[in-house]
Amino acid sequence: MKKLIALLLFPAAAWATGPQVTIYNDGFATVKETRNLQLTEGVSTVRVTDMSRQLEPDSVMLRELGKKPFGVRILEQSFVNDPLTEGLMLYQMEGQNVRFEEKRRDGTIKEHLGKVIRSGYIPGGGSEQPIIETDGAVRFSLPGQPVFEGLDPTAFLKPSLVWELAAERAGECPVEVAYVTAGMSWEATYNLVMPAEGGDTFDFSGWISLRNSTGKDFADTTVKLIAGDVQKVTRRPEYRQPLVLMGARPAPAAMPEERAFDEFHLYTLPRPVQVRNNELKQVEFLRASGVKGTRYYVYNPLVGYGYSRSANTDADYGQTASKKVGVRIEIENREDNQLGVPLPKGRMRLYRTDVDGRREFTGENQLDHLPKNEKLKLEMGSAFDLVGERKQTDFSVDTTAKRMSETIEIKLRNRKEKDAVEIRVIEPLYRSANWKISAASAEWTRFDSHTIEFRVPVPADGETVLTYTVNYSW
């Protein structure tokens, strides 16, 4: 039984009062917010505050929403990303006197009047030693907590856009402000629960994790997620603050809606969510049981050895001491296998059900974007009780006749006391494009133009020896 990608409970239009955020895999998002601007006829200065700290200013787009247009045009735009802080106020007071309060150990307060020679604040980030002239001396530190007599009403408390706007008439104009921002990302994570030994039916679940480090909270937000590799020029490193992990809640009745969008896939969360700054939020988007899969063993000690376009006559090439036998799982991403949906890339955690019914973590893997009806292939590490040994037992080359022969022996040992196994042996025929197997102790199949595969049974607590001879010509 599966439960995934259900229809939305609410139409998207019903959420239009809050922001709309579309988040991409690669650490950025597009934001659309509704604002009301107070305009005068002609040119007016308008400030729009509470923007993302990582907003890309040249991505800003303004669109009127009212039925009767105001003819709004942006003549000039400034992005103020330096909200009011103590350091900034001291910077603005350089050359002036400021009152400082020094708290003593006995709890009393001593006041100092000091002239700010250098605040220590560097616009845009960074700091240096402050220089304060007080009591007839100069000191390279603040003599106490600065106390300011008032706050400039035009001070910016949050990152803001300041516009010089031209309008054809005065009034309150509803607009949509859209922009691209760094500092938001999402990823999919999956849990695959395998049954006890001998079973082939799995439980499959998927979570969406949203990250927000934009410096801005998004309340009652319609969230869409784009799955796919979107081309974007790197502008600057993504700024990541420590994330607060919010506890995962049980899955709601509705799952995210999924649909194709351009060359990507788009997921829409089923209800508005709060996406706070420095928060990691998780939503379940897939749950399926009764998923059938195939678990098998692979001995592929020459993985990474390249195929040679010209004849490779080096007798020592391909010699390896690798004894690891890998474990793999294959699952058909098909509707008749309780799946059949596009799976965005993410981390896959693997669990095995023990004889006591408890689930134990057995490893993890990275899943790339997987379209529906494709095969999911997972590497699960190495089998503890299985060992392979590969060696060359014969090699000859005749460069005049342009031919060579190589004989390989592979020993496969199974130290499981009760269970016989089958091991798939992958052998790349890397010495030349023209090859022919002249002898083999087991059946083989052609995997591709220069790779063959053997499927070798190995008895419990036993050994099987595989040999084959390949002839090359060029």
| CA–centroid distance for 394 within its chain | 49
| CA–centroid distance for 441 within its chain | 47
| Whether 122 contacts 128, CB under 8 Å | yes
For 322-352, give one letter per residue: b (16+ CB within 10 A) or e. eebbbbbbebbbbeebbbbbbbbbbebebbb
Burial class (CB in 10 A: 0-12, 13-18, 19+), 249: exposed
> Strand pairing of 42-48 and 137-139?
unpaired
Global pTM? 0.64
Return d(Cα 213, Cα 361) in angstroms, integer.
30
| pLDDT value of position 27 | 85
Q: Please list the pLDDT of the chain residue by residue as tens digits (474 residues).
A: 544 433 222 233 333 468 999 998 778 999 999 999 999 999 999 989 889 999 999 999 999 999 999 999 999 999 988 777 788 888 888 999 999 999 988 889 999 999 999 999 887 677 899 999 998 899 999 999 999 876 655 566 788 899 999 999 999 999 999 999 999 999 899 999 988 766 688 999 999 899 999 999 998 899 988 876 555 555 543 333 333 333 333 334 454 555 555 555 677 877 788 889 998 888 888 899 999 998 899 999 988 777 777 888 999 888 888 999 999 999 999 999 999 888 888 899 988 888 787 888 888 888 888 888 999 988 888 899 999 999 999 999 999 999 999 999 999 999 998 889 999 999 999 898 899 999 999 999 998 888 999 999 999 999 999 999 999 999
3-state class of 15 per DSSP? helix
Kindly tell me the sign of the dihedral angle through the C-alpha atoms of 168, 170, 176, 177.
Answer: positive
Return d(Cα 95, Cα 100) in angstroms, integer.
15
What are the start-end ranges of the E strands in 5-94?
20-24, 28-39, 42-48, 61-64, 73-80
- Which residues contact residue 79 at a Cβ distance below 8 angstroms, ignoring those fewer than 6 apart? 51, 55, 57, 159, 160, 161, 162
| pLDDT value of position 304 | 76
For 265-289, give one letter per residue: b (16+ CB within 10 A) or e. bbbbbbebbebebebebebbbbbbe
3-state class of 433 per DSSP? coil
What are the start-end ranges of the E strands in 88-246?
97-103, 109-118, 131-134, 137-139, 145-147, 160-167, 171-182, 184-194, 201-212, 218-227, 244-245
Which amino acid makes up residue 19?
Answer: P
3-state class of 112 per DSSP? strand
Return d(Cα 386, Cα 298) in angstroms, integer.
10
Return d(Cα 206, Cα 251) in angstroms, integer.
11
Burial class (CB in 10 A: 0-12, 13-18, 19+), 70: buried
Rg (CA), the chain: 33
Span 28-82+156-181 CATH architecture: Beta Barrel (2.40)
Structure tokens at 352: 């095995």
Instruction: Please count the helices (runs of H) and the strands (runs of E) in the chain.
Output: 1, 31
Domain ranges of the chain: 28-82+156-181, 86-147
How many residues are present in the chain?
474
| pLDDT value of position 163 | 93
Calculate the CA dihedral of residues 36, 39, 44, 50 and round it to 10 degrees.
-10
Q: What are phi and psi of 28, to 5 degrees?
A: -145, 170
